[in-house]
Amino acid sequence: MSRPVVVVIAVILLLGLVGGGILGWMFMSRDRVGVLNYQVQVEEGANMREVLAKEEEFLQSDQVLKQVIKNLSLIKGWSMDSEEEALSHMRTKLIVKEDRMGARVRVIYRDRKQNRALEILQEIKKVFTPIRSEAVRRNELPPLMPMDDEGAEDDSNWAPLPASP
């Protein structure tokens, strides 16, 4: 084989190895998600964006997130220096979106480990539920829709918060 052919084969192999390494790194470092959906009672003509902004404000409040960080010992678990650093990290990983099916709110938590994402989201749900109920009593948030049995069977992704009193 001539020298230019060997060089071309070596370059192709090198590019293949580099490309495979990049794809493997991208796969291993991507975030997994935990998802929580719940449906709110909104009045006719109410702006869902405003409702979502309020939900997000309460979900990302210090009152909720500091308690989650404390309950799960996340500062130590994430090897962070301060609670503020952990709060900032959690706020970047927590997403509140509108689910286009009715007036549903979708809460997404992203983490590199699926189990940790689900654990954090379940703790957020546990801490957020009483805070949200109190906000409903003060008319700061709309009440939750009761979940019927038929809807629960049809939507496997439906994991509601407990109904508002």
* All domains in the chain, ordered by first residue: 31-154 (3.30.1890)
* Res. 15: pLDDT tops 80: yes
Q: Any idea what DSSP says for residue 144? A: B
**Average pLDDT for the chain:** 82
* Res. 127: pLDDT tops 90: yes
Q: Token match 């997000």: residue?
A: 56
* Single pTM value for the model: 0.70
Give me the pLDDT at residue 1, please.
73
Give me the pLDDT at residue 98, please.
86
Q: Any idea what DSSP says for residue 156? A: T
Secondary structure of residue 7 in the 3-state scheme:
helix
Q: Token match 């293949």: residue?
A: 16
Separation of alpha carbons 52 and 96, rounded Å: 7
Separation of alpha carbons 165 and 117, rounded Å: 29
Radius of gyration of the chain, Cα coordinates, nearest whole angstrom: 22
- Judge whether 71 and 108 are in contact, CB under 8 Å: no
Q: Given pLDDT bands bounded at 50, 70 and 90, which one contains residue 138? A: very high
Q: Given pLDDT bands bounded at 50, 70 and 90, which one contains residue 5? A: confident
Give me the pLDDT at residue 26, please.
61
Question: What residues pair up with 111 in beta bridges, in sequence order?
Answer: 32
- Judge whether 109 and 72 are in contact, CB under 8 Å: no
User: If you average pLDDT over residues 91-98, what whole number do you get?
Assistant: 91
Helix axes 62-72, 114-137, angle to 10 degrees: 140
Give me the pLDDT at residue 156, please.
41
* Res. 38: pLDDT tops 90: no
